Structure 1
Amino acid sequence: MSAVNDTKLNSAVFLVTGIPGKEDIYLWISIPFSLMYIISIVGNSVILFIIKTDPSLHEPMYIFLSILAVTDLGLSVSTMPTMLGIYLFNSREISLNACFAQLFFIHFFDKIESSVLLLMAFDRFIAICNPLRYTSILTLPRIAKTGLVFVLRSLAVVFPLPFLLKRFQYCRDNVLSHSYCLHQDVMKLACSDITVNIIYGMFTTVFTLGLDSLLIFLSYVMILKTVLSIASHAECLRALNTCVAHLCAVLLFYIPDIGLVVIHRFENNSSHLFKILLGYVYLLVPPLINPIVYSVKSKHLRARIIRAFVK
């Protein structure tokens, strides 16, 4: 009986979902998705190349930006095979092991991005609230150690997810809600009690996204308090302007991410199409928009990019 169960587990497949009812225009839908992936990969790669090759950009803010670009590249590459497979080749099947690997990398890079946004908020907090100690606080060794701690935190909370899912039998209609695999989506297809997965999923969300978003909020409360105490209106606006790109990145990341978590918890009251579209926004928009926003808002980075491509 055990051998039969193991065979059943290993031979099972999941079916990822595109946009229901639009199967006849999937090839046309693939065009904007392909463009989004190309722009995301090229944009983040350009930022990485410029920061790496220009010593004047080897500062904390740009180091954090380069880590954010690596994370966005990881999210794009993790979702690209199944998403484009649906719209280009009408390929919906994904094996259990491939699905577990994909959800591991999606959740891992998701947690890393949350950590990087927190570090960038701390960078803005120090730059505005304590500028005289900026270079002494944000040294390269300290940045490296902090980054390593956040990577290990993300790895520790995400590593158990595939193993928590692998112990289940999947005997239902294995149709996923998205074009990629997520832990909260896959666990609902199990034929067993998923209480442990629900509790652990909530723990990881609170311990990473919840804690990080709270600390980012507190950082901006302190930043706003400091900025409002500045007598000069022009200096006040100049200080706030340095936070615009980061605020855009925070909103683009946390709003769809938290929205997707809430929808999966109370999906009976939500539109299935809205959940699919929010899932696309959650993983496609931040890697696409982040390099554009930072290139526009960062004067030094914009100048280096123009210098590199326009002689």
Structure 2
Amino acid sequence: MSLPTSTRQYVFPQTKETAVSAPKANEVLVKTRAVSLQFRDLMIASGRYRGTFPPNLVPCSDMAGEVIAVGEDVKEWKVGDRVCASFHQDRMHNDSPNEQALGGAVHGVLTEYRTFPAQALIAMPDHLSYEEASTLPCAALTAYNALLSGYAPLKAGDTVLAQGTGGTSIFALQFAVASGATVIATSSSDEKLKIATKLGATHVINYKTTPNWAAEVLKLTNGVGVDHVVEVGGNATFSQSITAVKQRGSINIIGFLGGVGDVPSPDLIFPCISKQIIIRGISVGSVVQFKNMNKLISANIQATRPVIDKVFGFDEAKAAYAYLKSQAHVGKVVIKI
């Protein structure tokens, strides 16, 4: 087949057409089929995300697509393979650098075609659609890294607190259930909590009607607390997370939905020492972790199937951003290309 010579892509704040080059020796040219959105994408678009970005940034980090050409030295991929791109293009292993993040430090994936280094691609699980697989590179892998990697990996019988019902929190709920753990889920919406219950949460807490939700977590765990907290609120929720976690439990920090800078920092030192808490910052994950996560997903097809709230067309990208910003969604918002 003849290769495309141009691609439509978004650069803030509009689309443009640019040339497509054949892949270099160690590259793969991929036709983007679906892109999923992150809270990070909103922050970058509004200028509230820290970092240095290339001019005319192509946004978004998470995609799934089809290989349409491979460089002459590429052996592991062939035309027609279904793939996802790693969020960190240079992070092959857990201790590799993570400086080349898509949609931030380097141009992202909200484009019809894009080349990638061959080693930065991961095969999609066979049972997933492109839309479903596009949700894996950031949200799913962050949840997997938080719970199933690190110093105290999740094990059957543990209790997990999943804050909210956004993409990463929903994946954390699903991976915890698939691993035999008990999940306590929080949300500001009873309707969203009904979905969390259907996905396997044992207990749910509406933090609007129960603002002191940490006390409720302790009550549900007979005063012990949870083994793992998936912390997405940042400073706004961290004090309650410290209260809710058990002695020698872990708090995995993955987000700051409650705000940055305008929210006072909680008192950390004495509580963390007295409870011997493990606090771990999570920056997505590596290619190796992505492959291991896909094994878990493929072995637990029903429990781990991605939850997609709404799918938008490529020309509706701005509407997709607006819908994500509204926080009306449960799970992921996807753009189909």
TM-score norm. by structure 1 comes to: 0.29
- Higher helix proportion, which one? 1
Query: Which has the bigger relative contact order, CA under 8 A and spacing at least 6?
Result: 1
Structure whose CA Rg is larger: 1
Pick the structure with more strand per residue: 2
TM-score, normalising length: structure 2: 0.28
